Structure 1
């Protein structure tokens, strides 16, 4: 009997053996149980984490809300990675692989590969510093290098930014060199208004002050009206009034539009001609 015939007979004996099918069924059941159990553990662990952070949110000793949201997402990712890694090891063991030898070999290979994975290590270390130094958090509107947008997620390796126009930027944490965070400090709205320099100027300033006072009391985005000043006299003889307002973080554009919208009908009612422009806006 030639070699191929012997192999065929051995194979047929193997698959026709009842013990083989019992062992295969047992292995499949174990793998399914591991996967189901892993999913249950991850779900329960994530729910427990959320409940812990929810309790902390009601505590007088709570930390920054932005920081808590970021840490919650990071811990959820770590739990998912760890549980799935353990599950993969268990499945390999059930499939008959020598897991201890595999891990030992992986350690040696990992040491060799590690010299070529310095950028990955740099990304992970930089990600931890971003979080624990609270440079920015999930929900912040920031600018990283040349990319600008809202932080959707801070992972172990990358940070996800969503721009105003909807693009998603994936930025390796190790490449973050410059960060501008627009969501920590209050912003400043500046609106320039051109008005004729005549006997109605004093009335115009009075009307503007009254309207700004009303907006400050009823609009949450306005923290404080800082100043109304005559910033410039044009060649035409008109005067530029500059309205400076402190706003909640990143709300300066919204407040500027609101001020222009609210002031125009007030001045038109008294026949005061004006031109409204937005000045420079930023953070304080």
Structure 2
């Protein structure tokens, strides 16, 4: 009797060891397959991104080419779509590796229903809003825009979010679904505005005459100026200064540069002509002085 039991236990032990070995081999195979799949996903994304860059770089050399900003925007959006698509396909295959059947679920619910079922309503909203932003050409990569309290240069656009870089260097990532009002400051000409202060003791007419000469000079030298500059005249009477305003129309986003050049020329010319630019003064009266 004992010999029979020992024989049964011995056989059961061999079976358990065999099953354990099979299980370990199966797990290792699945992990290796998953790792290879991840590598293939990364390689595929990089390869397709290079093809997209090659296509749009070649398009820039054609006679009837797309605007550079639009070309960069389309490239960014297309890369985003490719990335999400490959990740989705890869995720389905990984689930299949671990015997999680996704085909019946996708067949009955559909991809859109599956996304909403997982609580991805915001994702769907972001994608739809991003599509209309692109369709209506509200802004492009490289544009200077303002969204709510955030403003800066559009650095990247995807089907889900817009990334803008502020002048302080901060990167703001804004979901497309959160974008309601957009102010695009890059479309059309920009306005340059310079206020010039002179002392009350100065001759206003003479100062205006000098400013007109400066404006005439910078118009010929600065290619960023479209119209003007024009001396508007006295715009304010301050506590210690008379303010004369100058306005000009410039190429998009070039108004800051034109304003800086104008101020430099005005300062140098006023110094040469002896026209005083006022600065705060303090007069101290000593009661003991008679």
Q: TM-score, normalised by structure 1?
A: 0.78
Matches within 5 A, 1:1-284: 11-17=16-22, 21=25, 26-104=29-107, 107=110, 110=113, 113-114=116-117, 117-195=120-198, 204-232=207-235, 234=237, 240-274=243-277
TM-superposed CA distance for 1:65, in Å, is 1.9
Distance 1:33 1:181, change over 3 A: same
TM-superposed CA distance for 1:124, in Å, is 1.6
Query: How many residues are matched?
Result: 271
Give SS of 2:227's match: strand
Distance 1:72 1:274 in 2: 51
TM-superposed CA distance for 1:51, in Å, is 1.0
TM-superposed CA distance for 1:25, in Å, is 5.4
Distance 2:80 2:260 in 1: 40
Give SS of 1:16's match: helix
Distance 2:88 2:98 in 1: 15
Moved more, 189-198 or 245-254: 189-198
Query: Does structure 2 conserve the Cα–Cα contact (< 8 Å) formed by 1:230 and 1:239?
Result: no
Consecutive unaligned residues in structure 1, runs of 5 or more: 277-284
Give SS of 2:275's match: coil
Deviations 1:154-200 (A, max 9, x none): 22222222333333333232232211111111111111224468996
Query: Does structure 2 conserve the Cα–Cα contact (< 8 Å) formed by 1:67 and 1:131?
Result: no
Q: TM-score, normalised by structure 2?
A: 0.76
CA RMSD of superposed structures (Å): 3.6
TM-superposed CA distance for 1:111, in Å, is 5.2
Query: Does structure 1 conserve the Cα–Cα contact (< 8 Å) formed by 2:212 and 2:230?
Result: no
Of structures 1 and 2, the one scoring higher in RCO (CA 8 A, sep 6+) is 1
Consecutive unaligned residues in structure 2, runs of 5 or more: 6-10, 280-290
